[in-house]
Amino acid sequence: MLKKKLLKFAIYCIPAGLISCTVSPLIKNPHPHPPSGFLGFHTTNNGMRYWKYVEPQFKNKERPDFCKKKMMAMDAGIFFLYCYQIKELPNQNLYSITKCSYYPETSYGSFGEIQKRFKCSEKQEDEIYSDVERDRAIRFFGDGIPSSFEVGIINFKAWLAIIGFILIVFGGIGILLIWFLISIFQISFNLIKKGISNR
């Protein structure tokens, strides 16, 4: 009876998990640069908090509209910072970009020590942003704040992926493995019992 219930539950879990994992990527992510690469190890986050460390290396001392912090989860603290400063051109969202590389020597350090770990240089090419792209970049990578709707969609997508993974790995494959082990134990027990009774 228990075996049948476990098998039935596992059979339901696997397609439910597959549906959950399939629906998650179909929902458009409002984040301009959602996690990518293997298991989402490539991430792009708000880097404005590093402006105070890199400002001395900038020709233009005006606070950027936004800064993007790009890193890989396995890079031991190394990351790249891209700061976007708008050019004074009429009716154009043309941005100059300064790229900074950060290579940590230790986890901690004084303000001056952290400053020295950044190496910055202005990129040759500029980037044009539409009004919508600029506003969204400021919300996610600047001094703005993403809307409640955007945060809700991002969290919903993440939860769908997590639930799908749990249903497939633990609810489906895991329970099938338990069902398989129970079957082996039952067969072994019956064979031992039959051997004892034949003596």
Can you spell out the DSSP letters for 3-20? HHHHHHHHHHHHHHHHHH
In the chain, where the domains are located: 1-30+146-199, 31-145
pLDDT at 122 over 60: yes
Residues 164, 154: Cα–Cα separation, whole Å: 16
What's the mean per-residue pLDDT of the chain? 77
Residue 169 pLDDT = 67
Identify which of 61, 47, 53 has the alpha carbon closest to the alpha carbon of residue 142: 47
pLDDT, residue 97, reads 92
Position 48 scores a pLDDT of 94
